Amino acid sequence: MKNPTCPICAQSAIDIGPIVHPCPALVAGVPIDLDGIRFRMMQCTSCALQFKDPLIPMEKLLPCYNSSPENNWEHQPNPIKRRFDQIAALAKQHARGTRILDIGCSNGAILDYFGSSWDRYGVEPGQDAARVAQQRDISILAPLLEDLDPSHTFDAILAIDLLEHLHDPNAFIARIMAHLNTGGIFIGFTGTTDAPSFRLQGSRYWYASLPEHLVFYCKETIEHLAKKHNATVEHYERTSHIRASLTRIPRDTIRNLIWKGVYACKGFAIAPWRHKLNNNPPPGWLSANDHMLFVLRKQ
């Protein structure tokens, strides 16, 4: 069978290993039937994007997002743990105006943290979450970016924990640029395959085991997208998804290094261990520096 081509640049891709989804699999707290499909991780030979093959269709994912229970998302996440302060500081430093849009804004927690000095808008498919965001004075303009009226333009657009959910990152960035004023900024926060932890575990990495995560970028992919859409990379840093406690960092690292060691030894030929290693994701590694935070500026 012919390998699929890259969703960003349509170049050839190579198979880099199996994806291991948990069983049962959940998306936004809602069970999803993956029909027993065996997913593979592919990597583009041109822009270095990694992506699942097959991509789980949006028709299967959207009902899960739409019916996600309100309590699936923290109402008041700890802003420091979730790096809201870091994202707000970047927006303040780089934006040339105050009109800001958060795509997939959930219950509006991050824009709530930004405060009323910003003119705040959101796009959110989850009805319960959108209602809470509106109670927080965030104007919900549409369920999805593609539903947004072209007349809406912004000085800053955020996509936090969103880029990894896209089927067509290229079309998404084109839409972002269309909704940005000239000189406007796009702030993205997503996983990066440049991370040593991601490289260590490859296609089996915890971040790829979430069914709703479909595409996985690295710095090279972001630079490729920026160039293609006439934007400049104003800021780039690799960081962890959460500011983890000092005890969690060694705990996660030790558990995952042990997993890798046992996996490399093929479970010491102990059949139940081999079965478990092959069919379950490794331990979570939420404290790893496996995310990137970047700012693109529309030229």
Q: Would you mind telling me the total number of residues written for the chain in this entry?
A: 299
49/129 with CB nearer Zn ion: 49
Residue 145: DSSP 8-state: G
6/277 with CB nearer Zn ion: 6
Nearest to 282 by CA among 197, 215, 217, 212: 197
- Under the binding rule (CB under 5 A), the answer on residue 8 touching Zn ion is yes
Smallest distance, Zn ion to C-beta of residue 193, A: 13
- Under the binding rule (CB under 5 A), the answer on residue 32 touching Zn ion is no
- Pairing type for strands 139-142 and 154-160 reads unpaired
Smallest distance, Zn ion to C-beta of residue 232, A: 20
- Under the binding rule (CB under 5 A), the answer on residue 44 touching Zn ion is yes
State the residue for tokens 């995952």.
256
- Reading the block at residue 138, the tokens are 């965030």
6/105 with CB nearer Zn ion: 6
Positions 255 through 274 that interact with Zn ion (CB under 5 A): none
- Under the binding rule (CB under 5 A), the answer on residue 5 touching Zn ion is no
- Under the binding rule (CB under 5 A), the answer on residue 162 touching Zn ion is no
9/133 with CB nearer Zn ion: 9
9/41 with CB nearer Zn ion: 9
Q: Is 269 helix (H, G, I), strand (E, B) or coil?
A: helix
- Under the binding rule (CB under 5 A), the answer on residue 47 touching Zn ion is yes
- Under the binding rule (CB under 5 A), the answer on residue 56 touching Zn ion is no
Nearest to 203 by CA among 35, 39, 32, 9: 39
- Under the binding rule (CB under 5 A), the answer on residue 225 touching Zn ion is no
- Pairing type for strands 291-298 and 180-191 reads antiparallel
- Under the binding rule (CB under 5 A), the answer on residue 6 touching Zn ion is yes
Distance CA 163, CA 215 (A): 8
- Reading the block at residue 220, the tokens are 């090279």
Smallest distance, Zn ion to C-beta of residue 52, A: 14
Q: How many chain residues bind Zn ion (CB under 5 A)?
A: 7
- Of 38-46, 86-94, 172-180, 232-240, the segment contacting Zn ion by CB under 5 A is 38-46
Query: Binder to Zn ion among 5, 12, 46, 86 (CB under 5 A)?
Result: 46
State the residue for tokens 């290094």.
257
Smallest distance, Zn ion to C-beta of residue 47, A: 3
Q: Which helix (H) or strand (E) holds 34?
A: none
- Under the binding rule (CB under 5 A), the answer on residue 66 touching Zn ion is no
C-beta separation of 185 from 155 below 8 A:
yes
Smallest distance, Zn ion to C-beta of residue 170, A: 9
Residue 192: DSSP 8-state: B
- Of 37-45, 58-66, 143-151, 162-170, the segment contacting Zn ion by CB under 5 A is 37-45
- Under the binding rule (CB under 5 A), the answer on residue 9 touching Zn ion is yes
Q: Phi/psi of residue 101, each to 5°?
A: -120, 135
Residues 110-122 as b/e (b if ≥16 CB within 10 A, e otherwise) read bbbbbeeebebbb
Q: Contact positions toward Zn ion, by CB under 5 A?
A: 6, 8-9, 44, 46-47, 49
